[in-house]
A = this chain, B = another copy of it.
Amino acid sequence: MSKGRVCLAYSGGLDTSTILKWLINDGYTVVCFLANVGQEEDWEEVEKKALMLGAERMVIRDLQAQFVNEIVFRAVQCNAIYEDRYLLGTSLARPIIAREQVRVAQEFNCDSLSHGCTGKGNDQVRFELAWLALAPSMKIIAPWRIEAFISKFKGRADLLEYARVNDIPVSSTPKAPWSMDENLVHCSYEAGILEDPDHEPPKHLWKMTVDPLDAPDKPYHLTIHFTKGVPTKVVTEDGIEATDPVELFKLLNRIGHDNGVGRVDIVENRFIGLKSRGCYDSPGLTILRLAHVDLEGLVLDSKVRELRDQFCTISWSRQLYNGMYFSPERELVENSIIFSQQNVDGVVRMVVYKGNAYTIGRSSETSNLYSEEDASMDSLDTFSPMDTSGFIAIQAIRLKKYGESKIAQGTPLTES
């Protein structure tokens, strides 16, 4: 008799194949689930392998449109970034995958959810916090935190031996000396040789970007249109145009890829208190973020921007990184993000070249905040410079007292 039905996040790799077999051997019925969030994959091969290993069923779902519309474009709207550098590629995909896995589990009467994430990383936290919010009564099986599993599989040799005994096919391609996670937004590279933070990533590591040295020798121009902070059209110098969200994003990825745009190499702080080194290439999102930040300069009120930067951008980014997507605080912040973007309409003209993306012009017909007349140093038609005297005098009231008190204390600011 089955111990129950488990919905397992299955990638076809050695780790999750081992878990699949281990669960079956342990008496579970297993429904395998794989999300298509834009990664490169031989989908048929994965399905064949899962069924061959004894999965009751292999469910593959294309979540690319959800991913782009519900999460990636939200990240664009708030200029999401973690610790000044990381565009959150992996974090962004997790909520969409987790939600679909729960839906699949419910559809096929599973009572448990399982994944193959390691016990030291962020992804286990992201999947499980999402699952516990989405399906508070479902059980979770996390083999890499189960004593029996860990003590059986102490290293790769144990996995290979188990594969041999259990007829799990093993890829003949040698494993890269780092681990990767790929989706529409980025590819991440960590662990292995990258654990030395002073070890430069090898030239052939990067998957979603060419080496800037190998990028074309001439700049490439493109134009990005935004409506309410969301990109709605991309037009390139050679006449390619995309408006469908997924197609638009893939076009930007291709442009970014070809010109080597969007590489990051950092040491970051994981939610669970460890530091880790990660390399990421996020070509399309890097271009989009830059374009969006630039357009906001033109159309967003300064105080709205200030509040949004300090409140929404920082909070939403951290929430996503920490796996708190399905949370009341993310709902609260996202409501503000959307509200802030009402007038973020316009067009940004950009150039990419050898690893860089530059804005070279921006315009908007919606916002009245920028005015050449007002901005002009030569025109005083809409501005009385005498007003500034009063403005400065009022701002200086407390500063003068500050200066006076320093003088009184014998430490005048002129001697600071």
**Interface residues of A, Cβ cutoff 8 Å to B:** 79, 83-85, 99, 102-103, 106, 118-121, 124-125, 128-129, 132-136, 142, 144-145, 147, 150, 155, 179, 190-191, 195-201, 212-213, 218-219, 263, 265-269, 272-277, 293-294, 297-298, 301-311, 314-315, 318, 324, 326-329, 331-333, 335-336, 339-340, 343, 349, 353-356, 358-363, 367-372, 374-378, 380, 383-405, 407-408, 412-414, 416
Contacts and interface: CB of A to CB of B under 8 A. Distances in A.
A191 B376 contact: yes
Given A265-B360, A272-B391, A293-B85, A370 B327 contact: no
Contact of A386 (B102, B147, B378): B147
A326 B394 contact: no
Given A304-B328, A377-B179, A84 B293 contact: yes
Contacts of A155: 378
B354 A265 contact: no
Given A195-B376, A361-B197, A134 B301 contact: no
Kindly report how many copies of this chain are found in the complex they form together. Answer: 4
A396 B403 CA distance: 28
Contacts of A327: 301, 303, 399, 402
B336 A335 contact: yes
A139 to B, nearest CB: 12
Contact of A273 (B190, B213, B362, B397): B397
A303 B274 contact: no
Nearest to A106: B414
Q: Which of A121, A219, A311, A401 has the most CB of B within 10 A?
A: A401
A388 B273 contact: no
Given A195-B372, A315-B307, A391-B391, A301 B329 contact: yes
B302 A388 contact: no
Contacts of A377: 118, 120-121, 179, 190-191
Contacts of A136: 400-401, 403-404, 407
16 contacts: A118-B377, A119-B388, A128-B396, A132-B403, A213-B219, A265-B358, A267-B362, A272-B391, A273-B394, A274-B375, A276-B375, A303-B398, A335-B339, A353-B355, A355-B355, A390-B391
Given A142-B389, A304-B332, A359-B265, A275 B369 contact: yes
Contact of A380 (B150, B274, B309): B150
B400 A132 contact: yes
B329 A388 contact: no
Contacts of A145: 385-386, 388-389
The 5 closest A-B pairs by CB, nearest first: A390-B390, A119-B385, A269-B302, A273-B397, A267-B297
A392 B129 contact: yes
B392 A128 contact: yes
Contacts of A277: 370, 375
